[in-house]
Chain A
Amino acid sequence: MAELTQLYRAEYTGMVRLAFTLIGNNAEAEEVVQDSFVEISRRFEDLGQPGAYLRTVVVSRCRSVLRRRRLVQQSTPARPPDLPPEAESLWDVLETLPEHQRIAVVLRYYCGYRASEIAQITDQPAATVRSHLRRAMQAMRKELTP
Chain B
Amino acid sequence: MSRFEDTLQRDLAVIADRATPSPDAWQQILVRIADQEPIEETEIIMLVENQERPRRWPAYAAAAAVVALVAGGIALIAAQDDGESPADDPTPVTTPAPENVDEQGTSVDDEDGADAALRTVTLSGEALLTVENEPGDDPYNGTFTGRAVLTGPGVDLDMASSGSFTAESEAIVDGDSVAVLTGSIVGIGDGSITSEGPWSRRDGFDVTEDAPITDSTGAFEGASGTFSIITEAESGASTWSMTLTLPADRFGDDFVEGATDAVPPAVVDEVVPAEALPPSGRVLEGRYTTDYIGTDLTFEVTTAADISWTTLQWPGTIWLYTGSGDEFVQMTRISGWYDADQAVDPGVVGFGNIAPDDIDGLIAARPDMLIDDLGETEVGGRTARWFESSLDPTSTAGEGICDPSDQPCTWLTSRSGDAVEPDAYRATPSLLGRRLVRSFVIDMDGYEPILVEGWTTRDDKEAWLDEVFQPIVDSIELGEPTYAVEGGRASLTTSVVATGTWTDADYLQTPRDDGSFDVTYVSTYAGDVRGDAPSISYWTPVDGGNVGGGTLEFTGEIDGLGTGTLTIREESVTLPTFLSVAVITGGTGDFEGASGWALFDPNSKAGTYEMHIEVPARPSAAAATRNVVVESQFAVVDVVQTAAAGATLISGSTEFTGGLEGTAPTNARIVGEPVGTARAFGTRWIEATVEGVGTGTMLLQGPFRFDEAGNYIGLANVVAASGDLTGVTGTVRFQSADRGASGTATFDLQIPTG
Do A and B truly interact? yes
* Residues in B neighbouring A86, C-beta threshold 8 A: 7, 11, 14
Min CB distance, B386 to chain A, in Å?
A: 5
> Which residue on B lies nearest to A130, using beta carbons?
B373
Interface residues of B (CB under 8 A from A): 4-5, 7-9, 11-22, 25-26, 28-29, 32-33, 36, 55-58, 61, 64-65, 79-81, 85-87, 89-90, 92-93, 203, 205, 230, 232, 237, 260, 262-264, 266, 372-373, 375, 377, 386, 388, 438, 462-463, 465-466, 470, 473-474
B85 contacts A74, C-beta separation under 8 Å: yes
How far, in angstroms, from A73 to B64 measured CA to CA in the complex? Answer: 13
Min CB distance, A10 to chain B, in Å?
A: 12
Find the residue from B5, B13, B15, B463 having the highest chain A CB count within 10 A: B15
* Residues in A neighbouring B7, C-beta threshold 8 A: 86, 144
Min CB distance, A70 to chain B, in Å?
A: 8
A13 contacts B21, C-beta separation under 8 Å: yes
Contacts A16-B21, A61-B262 hold; do A141 and B79 have CB atoms under 8 A apart? no
> Which residue on A lies nearest to B86, using beta carbons?
A28
Find the residue from B55, B205, B262, B386 having the highest chain A CB count within 10 A: B262
A131 contacts B21, C-beta separation under 8 Å: no
* Residues in B neighbouring A45, C-beta threshold 8 A: none
B29 contacts A106, C-beta separation under 8 Å: no
Contacts A31-B86, A74-B85, A128-B470 hold; do A8 and B8 have CB atoms under 8 A apart? no
* Residues in B neighbouring A26, C-beta threshold 8 A: 18-20, 90
A31 contacts B11, C-beta separation under 8 Å: no
Q: Does A97 contact B (CB under 8 A)?
A: no
B466 contacts A128, C-beta separation under 8 Å: yes
A38 contacts B58, C-beta separation under 8 Å: no
8 A Cβ contacts from A18-50 to B: 18-21, 25-39, 41-42
How far, in angstroms, from A5 to B373 measured CA to CA in the complex? Answer: 42
* Residues in A neighbouring B264, C-beta threshold 8 A: 60, 64
A131 contacts B462, C-beta separation under 8 Å: yes
Min CB distance, B206 to chain A, in Å?
A: 11
Min CB distance, A93 to chain B, in Å?
A: 10
Q: Considering the complex of A and B, which 7 residue pairs feature the smallest CB-CB distances, nearest first?
A: A39-B262, A20-B19, A27-B90, A17-B16, A110-B12, A87-B14, A16-B21
Contact residue among A72, A94, A131 (Cβ-Cβ distance under 8 Å from B65): A72
Min CB distance, A131 to chain B, in Å?
A: 5
A to B CB contacts below 8 Å, 27 in the list? A5-B26, A13-B21, A17-B19, A17-B21, A18-B16, A30-B25, A31-B93, A33-B25, A37-B29, A39-B260, A56-B263, A57-B263, A68-B58, A72-B81, A73-B203, A90-B11, A109-B8, A110-B12, A110-B16, A125-B474, A126-B377, A127-B470, A128-B466, A130-B375, A131-B466, A132-B466, A141-B4
Min CB distance, B617 to chain A, in Å?
A: 41
* Residues in B neighbouring A17, C-beta threshold 8 A: 16-17, 19, 21
Min CB distance, B416 to chain A, in Å?
A: 25
How far, in angstroms, from A60 to B262 measured CA to CA in the complex? Answer: 8
How far, in angstroms, from A64 to B15 measured CA to CA in the complex? Answer: 21
Min CB distance, A115 to chain B, in Å?
A: 8
A30 contacts B377, C-beta separation under 8 Å: no
B32 contacts A38, C-beta separation under 8 Å: yes
8 A Cβ contacts from A70-96 to B: 71-74, 77, 80, 82-84, 86-87, 90-91, 94
Contacts A86-B11, A109-B8 hold; do A64 and B58 have CB atoms under 8 A apart? yes
* Residues in A neighbouring B21, C-beta threshold 8 A: 12-13, 16-17, 30
A71 contacts B9, C-beta separation under 8 Å: no
B19 contacts A109, C-beta separation under 8 Å: no
How far, in angstroms, from A29 to B203 measured CA to CA in the complex? Answer: 28
Min CB distance, A15 to chain B, in Å?
A: 9
Min CB distance, B401 to chain A, in Å?
A: 25
B86 contacts A106, C-beta separation under 8 Å: no
> Which residue on B lies nearest to A135, using beta carbons?
B462
* Residues in A neighbouring B22, C-beta threshold 8 A: 30
* Residues in A neighbouring B20, C-beta threshold 8 A: 26
How far, in angstroms, from A110 to B386 measured CA to CA in the complex? Answer: 27
Contacts A21-B12, A106-B12 hold; do A8 and B26 have CB atoms under 8 A apart? yes
* Residues in A neighbouring B26, C-beta threshold 8 A: 5, 8, 12
Contact residue among A27, A31, A80 (Cβ-Cβ distance under 8 Å from B18): A80
How far, in angstroms, from A32 to B203 measured CA to CA in the complex? Answer: 28
How far, in angstroms, from A77 to B388 measured CA to CA in the complex? Answer: 36
> Which residue on B lies nearest to A13, using beta carbons?
B21
Query: 19 new A-B pairs (CB below 8 Å) besides A31-B56, A36-B262, A72-B81?
Result: A17-B17, A25-B87, A31-B57, A31-B92, A34-B29, A38-B29, A38-B32, A41-B29, A60-B262, A65-B58, A71-B79, A110-B16, A123-B266, A125-B377, A127-B470, A134-B462, A135-B462, A140-B4, A144-B7
> Which residue on A lies nearest to B93, using beta carbons?
A31
How far, in angstroms, from A132 to B463 measured CA to CA in the complex? Answer: 9
A38 contacts B33, C-beta separation under 8 Å: yes
How far, in angstroms, from A32 to B13 measured CA to CA in the complex? Answer: 20
* Residues in B neighbouring A137, C-beta threshold 8 A: 4
* Residues in B neighbouring A74, C-beta threshold 8 A: 81, 85
* Residues in B neighbouring A87, C-beta threshold 8 A: 11, 14-15
Contacts A21-B15, A30-B22, A87-B11 hold; do A35 and B79 have CB atoms under 8 A apart? no
Contact residue among B13, B14, B58, B64 (Cβ-Cβ distance under 8 Å from A72): B64
* Residues in B neighbouring A134, C-beta threshold 8 A: 372, 462
Contact residue among B87, B232, B386 (Cβ-Cβ distance under 8 Å from A127): B386
Contact residue among B8, B56, B61 (Cβ-Cβ distance under 8 Å from A140): B8
* Residues in B neighbouring A19, C-beta threshold 8 A: 19
How far, in angstroms, from A12 to B19 measured CA to CA in the complex? Answer: 12
B12 contacts A109, C-beta separation under 8 Å: yes
Contacts A21-B15, A77-B87 hold; do A34 and B55 have CB atoms under 8 A apart? no
How far, in angstroms, from A123 to B263 measured CA to CA in the complex? Answer: 12
A71 contacts B33, C-beta separation under 8 Å: no
How far, in angstroms, from A128 to B84 measured CA to CA in the complex? Answer: 34
Contact residue among B8, B85, B87, B470 (Cβ-Cβ distance under 8 Å from A125): B470
Contacts A17-B17, A134-B462 hold; do A38 and B11 have CB atoms under 8 A apart? no
> Which residue on A lies nearest to B375, using beta carbons?
A126
How far, in angstroms, from A84 to B18 measured CA to CA in the complex? Answer: 11
8 A Cβ contacts from A92-146 to B: 94, 105-106, 109-110, 116, 123, 125-128, 130-132, 134-135, 137, 140-141, 144-145
> Which residue on B lies nearest to A39, using beta carbons?
B262
How far, in angstroms, from A53 to B306 measured CA to CA in the complex? Answer: 35
Contact residue among A34, A91, A144 (Cβ-Cβ distance under 8 Å from B25): A34
Find the residue from B29, B61, B463 having the highest chain A CB count within 10 A: B29
* Residues in B neighbouring A38, C-beta threshold 8 A: 29, 32-33, 36, 260, 262
> Which residue on B lies nearest to A112, using beta carbons?
B9
A90 contacts B16, C-beta separation under 8 Å: no
Min CB distance, A47 to chain B, in Å?
A: 12
B4 contacts A27, C-beta separation under 8 Å: no
How far, in angstroms, from A74 to B79 measured CA to CA in the complex? Answer: 12
How far, in angstroms, from A2 to B726 measured CA to CA in the complex? Answer: 73
